[in-house]
Amino acid sequence: MAADYSEFLDGLEAHVSSVWNEVNKPRAITRRSRNQRAKSCLVATPQMPPDTPPLPEGHFPVIYSDPAWSYDDKGNVNAPDYPTLSVAQMSQLEVPSRNHPEGTVHFMWATLPLLPDALRLMGNWGYQYKTVAFVWVKSKGEDADDNPLLYVGRGSYTNPNAEIVLLGVSGKAPVRKDKRVRQIVFAELDKEHSAKPEEVRRRIERLYTSEPKLELFARNRFVGWEPWGKDVDKGVQQPSSPTDGDVITFKDPKVRDGISTRQAAEIISAKSGTPVGAHRVLEFIKEERLKGYKVGNQYVLSKAEVEAFAKKPRSGGRPKKQ
């Protein structure tokens, strides 16, 4: 399996690099290209919508973005059902002025059909493409042995699964703090269109500890991050990424001692003596045997409630079959 992934990733890296070189290849100036350039000067440059909020002030060594890509094929089943922007519009954002003078590393979500657009925008924002930082392999839960069940999407050619995070650098990239961060991310596909797994954010925080970090096209607020986007104020204040044993404190009054499904599984396993995985905790929530609070695109549980649940007879282990 590892060899297969290695071959796939090597091929993906080579493909993205070739697209980057093609997108940024110098073009010979011909009479035709001069005429096209003259005509383009007569067309107004697309601007961002008038209600676009200003970017946060400051310079950021780490920037994370999930651009609202525009699909030409609106009939595509994967085309988003929310407002989108063209590369020309997003290029108007003053992202280059937010890059840190000593260097910035930028993590940008991209889909493979729009890879040229993503690399073009990365160049317009002043970055040199370096690598594919993360590959999100979408799952739809786990089997009884905690192995991910792969999600199968719908596409115009093959049935797609993965999305990628491109890494670009302006100046000199900050020094990474953790050399054990892996590229492939197995995570469930959220029901909310375009929602990305928070595991990617956690891995970025492990790589680079400097704060604040800037997030573009954000939906929620996270400790240590400066968010930008129209939907930020609609979201909920999120915790910083938890480490083992941490208790998360939320501004949401429903949860004061929030823990993740993984942490809940560890508590139940320890107190009941029966191994329980995070996917089992999700099933407990769905069966209403445990109360889970949806915060962002993940479930949060009360530590006190989980501990009480774990002490009850037969509350550990596998959920009852219907």
* CATH number of the domain enclosing 151: 3.40.50
Are 220 and 268 contained in the same domain? Answer: no
What is the distance between the alpha carbons of residues 27 and 87, in angstroms, rounded to a whole number? Answer: 19
Are 210 and 287 contained in the same domain? Answer: no
Asked whether residue 153 carries a pLDDT value surpassing 70, the answer given is yes
Are 232 and 262 contained in the same domain? Answer: no
Q: Tokens 């002490």 — which residue?
A: 311
What is the distance between the alpha carbons of residues 287 and 305, in angstroms, rounded to a whole number? Answer: 15
Go through 234-269 and write b for each residue having 16 or more CB atoms within 10 A of its CB, e for each that does not: ebbebbebeeeeeebebeeeebebbbbbebbbbbbb
59 is a domain residue: yes
262 is a domain residue: yes
What is the distance between the alpha carbons of residues 146 and 230, in angstroms, rounded to a whole number? Answer: 37
Range ranked top by mean pLDDT from 138-147, 252-261, 265-274: 265-274
185 is a domain residue: yes
Residue type, 287: E
Query: What is this structure's pTM?
Result: 0.68
pLDDT for 234 equals 55
Percent of the chain with pLDDT over 90: 32
Contact by Cβ (8 Å): 296, 235: yes
Domain holding 273, by residue range, is 258-311
Helix residue ranges per DSSP H, the chain:
2-23, 31-41, 87-90, 115-124, 198-207, 261-272, 278-286, 303-311
321 is a domain residue: no
Are 171 and 203 contained in the same domain? Answer: yes
304 is a domain residue: yes
Asked whether residue 72 carries a pLDDT value surpassing 70, the answer given is no
Are 80 and 149 contained in the same domain? Answer: yes
Are 203 and 277 contained in the same domain? Answer: no
Largest CA distance in the chain: 82
Condensed to tens digits (0 to 9), the pLDDT of residues 122-132 reads 999 999 999 99
End-to-end CA distance of the chain: 35
Are 191 and 282 contained in the same domain? Answer: no
Are 66 and 188 contained in the same domain? Answer: yes
Which residue did the predictor score with more confidence, 32 or 151? 151
Which residue did the predictor score with more confidence, 281 or 273? 281
Are 189 and 219 contained in the same domain? Answer: yes
Are 213 and 277 contained in the same domain? Answer: no
Are 91 and 152 contained in the same domain? Answer: yes
Nearest to 220 by CA among 188, 252, 243, 247: 252
293 is a domain residue: yes
Which residue did the predictor score with more confidence, 46 or 2? 46
Range ranked top by mean pLDDT from 200-209, 256-265, 285-294, 312-321: 200-209
3 is a domain residue: no
Instruction: Return mean pLDDT, the chain.
Output: 79
Are 158 and 76 contained in the same domain? Answer: yes
Asked whether residue 315 carries a pLDDT value surpassing 60, the answer given is no
How many domains are contained in the chain? 2
Q: Tokens 């889909």 — which residue?
A: 111
1 is a domain residue: no
**What average pLDDT does the segment 179-194 reach?**
80
Range ranked top by mean pLDDT from 132-141, 148-157, 182-191, 293-302: 132-141
Q: Among 201, 236, 271, which residue terminates a domain?
A: 236
Asked whether residue 174 carries a pLDDT value surpassing 50, the answer given is yes
